[in-house]
């Protein structure tokens, strides 16, 4: 499949005719090409977006809402095609793409299609001074949206939907590792009646295409999801240009388990929070801390259940763990496991798997490493694969210290039935999102984002609509 840029409602080749190979993680074969777009392509997209903004920013909320909801419906109609494309491009189980990624991409458009009709701003009467202030929230103009490969269409649409709902026009770049569903989205937007130039999808590497979007002086806001190092680089470029920035970055999330929790619910959910999507979810609970009294029971059961997880071709219905996204990523995860072997004890997994008929695919056993200190590389640096660590703790204070002692602060999960402890711990955890007795339970109205090296700003609900608008206070004396 040859991916093309989507500019002004048309598919086109990159101006410089530079291309990247697209690999299928399930068999390691090249199955298509993707543009490696240049500054010139970004400029072409910016120019049409700027023109489209004149009209799009003045459309009624109902009109925008109708188009966004239509895009959601068309994503649902094309669910099978999009899920197959996502699974082939990313290596994730087809069942996961069908049940999570693609339905969620549709929900993103439907949610923001409705949310924009409910978005309001403040008014402040200066009592006794005969003046009233009201806040105008206006679209910014042309904005940039840059997304990663782990949940390709899901995270791409999570940015684009609020940006266009708020009246902006967009230059968007999906990950060059997984470009296919973003490519297919262009056609869906055209069919849904999205005016030309409102959304422009440019493909290419971060260092070429991505950086050109960030460096563009007139793209005034960047919503970025990806690694913390990339986020820091983007912040450095954007700061002197005074761009609005939303940075959703890496995580090294603690999963704190107390002996008084609902054991079976915790065990099943912990399997998911460890290995769903091959552990390639920013919210995965990769550092598991267990209260001493429960440690041995949990360790035995968790290892047994992990060994039973079926690693296989993403299309096979009994596959729970598919292929990792790319060869370099597989190698990165394997090199972390090697470090883990020195820092701790591998309780299960740790090896590359050869799947019959797909010998060159990027398959890896789900891996559990037992450690005795949190101050080790595998517990401090993001691995972003099917690798978790286990470590016991003695009491609440120690659990908190272990959970917070890391440079990241995206999410945390807590398992306990003690309400007072829940309140104490949730108040003290340094994370943008905390789940208690559940994991990745999402409500799209809630603020989404992290603290520390996990980023700045919040997405989700009205937070996203606030990010994609500029507020202007108007004070009227009467």
Residues identified as active-site: 248, 282
One character per residue 286-315, x = contact with ligand NAD (rule: CB under 6 A): ------------------------------
Question: In angstroms, what is the minimal distance from the CB of 205 to ligand NAD?
Answer: 6
Binding ligand NAD (rule: CB under 6 A), the pick from 170, 182, 214, 433 is: 214
Question: In angstroms, what is the minimal distance from the CB of 81 to ligand NAD?
Answer: 23
Binding ligand NAD (rule: CB under 6 A), the pick from 35, 103, 139, 210 is: 210
* 214, 218, 224, 228: CA torsion to nearest 10: 40
Interface with ligand NAD, residue 463, by CB under 6 A: no
Q: Identify the H or E element spanning 75.
A: helix 61-77
Q: Is the Cβ of residue 309 or residue 410 nearer to ligand NAD in the bound state?
A: 410
Q: Is the Cβ of residue 65 or residue 326 nearer to ligand NAD in the bound state?
A: 326
DSSP single-letter state for residue 38: -
Binding ligand NAD (rule: CB under 6 A), the pick from 65, 211, 336, 416 is: 211
Interface with ligand NAD, residue 64, by CB under 6 A: no
User: Mind giving me the DSSP string for 413-472?
Assistant: EEE-S-HHHHHHHHHH--SSEEEESSSS---TTS-B--EETTEES-BSHHHHHHHTEEEE
Question: In angstroms, what is the minimal distance from the CB of 293 to ligand NAD?
Answer: 32
One character per residue 423-452, x = contact with ligand NAD (rule: CB under 6 A): ---------------------------x--
Which residue's CB atom is positioned nearest to ligand NAD? 206
Q: Is the Cβ of residue 43 or residue 398 nearer to ligand NAD in the bound state?
A: 43
Binding ligand NAD (rule: CB under 6 A), the pick from 42, 182, 256, 282 is: 282
Interface with ligand NAD, residue 91, by CB under 6 A: no
Within 10 angstroms of residue 373's Cβ, the number of other Cβ atoms is: 10
Would you state the structure tokens that stand for residue 277, as one six-digit string? 């999507």
Helices in 166-289 by DSSP H: which ranges?
180-191, 211-215, 228-238, 263-275
Q: Which stretch binds ligand NAD (CB under 6 A): 108-116, 179-187, 207-215, 398-406?
A: 207-215
Q: Which stretch binds ligand NAD (CB under 6 A): 210-218, 255-263, 305-313, 390-398?
A: 210-218
CA 173 to CA 144: how far, in whole Å? 8
- Classify each residue of 295-319 as buried b or exposed e, where b means 16 or more C-beta atoms within 10 Å of its C-beta: beebbeebbebbeebebbbbeeeeb
Binding ligand NAD (rule: CB under 6 A), the pick from 179, 251, 361, 366 is: 251
Interface with ligand NAD, residue 326, by CB under 6 A: no
Question: In angstroms, what is the minimal distance from the CB of 332 to ligand NAD?
Answer: 10
Interface with ligand NAD, residue 276, by CB under 6 A: no
Classify residue 466 by burial, with Cβ atoms within 10 Å: 0-12, 13-18, 19+.
middle
In terms of Cα–Cα distance, which of 437, 382, 383 is closest to 407?
A: 382
Question: In angstroms, what is the minimal distance from the CB of 125 to ligand NAD?
Answer: 39
Handedness of CA 82, 150, 282, 201 (dihedral sign): negative
- Helix (H) and strand (E) counts in the chain: 16, 24
- Classify each residue of 425-451 as buried b or exposed e, where b means 16 or more C-beta atoms within 10 Å of its C-beta: beeebbbbbbbbbebbeeebeeebbbe
* 217, 221, 226, 228: CA torsion to nearest 10: 80
Q: Segment 144-203, which members bind ligand NAD (CB under 6 A)?
A: 146-150, 155, 173, 175-176
Interface with ligand NAD, residue 384, by CB under 6 A: yes
Q: Is the Cβ of residue 234 or residue 333 nearer to ligand NAD in the bound state?
A: 234
In terms of Cα–Cα distance, which of 413, 459, 108 is closest to 272?
A: 413
Binding ligand NAD (rule: CB under 6 A), the pick from 233, 360, 380, 426 is: 233
Binding ligand NAD (rule: CB under 6 A), the pick from 32, 179, 226, 386 is: 226
Q: Is the Cβ of residue 207 or residue 373 nearer to ligand NAD in the bound state?
A: 207
Q: Is the Cβ of residue 156 or residue 302 nearer to ligand NAD in the bound state?
A: 156
Q: Cα separations (Å) of 1 from 34, 88, 188, 363?
A: 9, 12, 17, 23
Interface with ligand NAD, residue 410, by CB under 6 A: yes
Are 223 and 112 contacting, i.e. CB atoms less than 8 angstroms apart? no
Binding ligand NAD (rule: CB under 6 A), the pick from 14, 250, 254, 344 is: 250
Contact footprint for ligand NAD (CB under 6 A): 146-150, 155, 173, 175-176, 205-207, 210-211, 214, 225-227, 230, 233-234, 248-251, 282, 382, 384, 410, 450, 455
């Amino acid at each position: 499949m040859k991916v093309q840029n989507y500019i002004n409602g048309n598919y086109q080749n990159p101006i410089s005719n530079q291309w990247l190979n697209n690999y299928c993680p399930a068999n390691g074969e090249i199955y298509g090409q993707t543009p490696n777009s240049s500054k010139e392509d970004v400029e072409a997209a910016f120019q049409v977006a700027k023109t489209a903004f004149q009209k799009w920013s003045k459309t009624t909320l109902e009109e925008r809402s109708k188009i966004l909801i239509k895009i959601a419906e068309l994503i649902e109609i094309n669910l099978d095609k999009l899920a197959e494309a996502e699974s082939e491009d990313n290596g994730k189980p087809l069942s996961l793409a069908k049940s999570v990624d693609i339905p969620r991409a549709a929900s993103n458009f439907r949610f923001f299609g409705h949310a924009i009709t409910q978005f309001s701003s403040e008014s402040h009467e200066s009592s006794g001074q005969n003046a009233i202030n009201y806040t105008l929230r206006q679209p910014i103009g042309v904005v940039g949206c840059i997304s990663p490969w782990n949940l390709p269409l899901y995270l791409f649409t999570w940015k684009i939907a609020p940006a266009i709902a708020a009246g902006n026009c967009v230059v968007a770049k999906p990950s060059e590792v997984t470009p296919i569903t973003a490519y297919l989205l262009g056609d869906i937007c055209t069919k849904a009646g999205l005016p030309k130039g409102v959304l422009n999808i440019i493909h290419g590497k971060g260092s070429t295409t991505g950086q050109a979007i960030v460096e563009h002086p007139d793209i005034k806001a960047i919503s970025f999801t990806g690694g913390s190092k990339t986020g820091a680089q983007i912040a450095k470029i954007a700061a002197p240009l005074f761009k609005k920035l939303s940075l959703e970055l890496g995580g090294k999330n603690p999963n704190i388990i107390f002996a008084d929790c609902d054991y079976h619910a915790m065990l099943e959910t912990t399997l998911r929070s460890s290995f769903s999507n091959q552990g390639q979810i920013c919210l995965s609970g990769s550092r598991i801390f267990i209260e001493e009294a429960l440690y041995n029971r949990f360790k035995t059961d968790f290892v047994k259940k992990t060994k039973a997880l079926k690693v296989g071709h993403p299309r096979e219905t009994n596959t729970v763990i598919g292929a990792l996204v790319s060869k370099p990523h597989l190698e990165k995860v394997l090199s972390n496991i090697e470090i883990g072997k020195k820092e701790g004890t591998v309780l299960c997994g740790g090896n590359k798997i050869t799947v019959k008929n797909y010998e060159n695919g990027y398959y890896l056993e789900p891996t559990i490493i037992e450690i005795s200190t949190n101050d080790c590389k595998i517990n401090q640096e993001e691995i972003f694969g099917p690798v978790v660590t286990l470590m016991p703790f003695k009491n609440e204070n120690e659990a908190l210290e272990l959970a917070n002692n890391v440079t990241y602060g995206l999410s945390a999960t807590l398992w306990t039935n003690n309400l007072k402890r829940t309140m104490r711990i949730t108040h003290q955890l340094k994370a943008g999102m905390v789940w208690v007795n559940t994991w990745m339970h999402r409500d799209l109205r809630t603020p989404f984002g992290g603290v520390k090296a996990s980023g700045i700003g919040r997405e989700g609900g009205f937070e996203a609509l606030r990010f994609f608008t500029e507020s202007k206070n108007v004070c009227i004396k009467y």
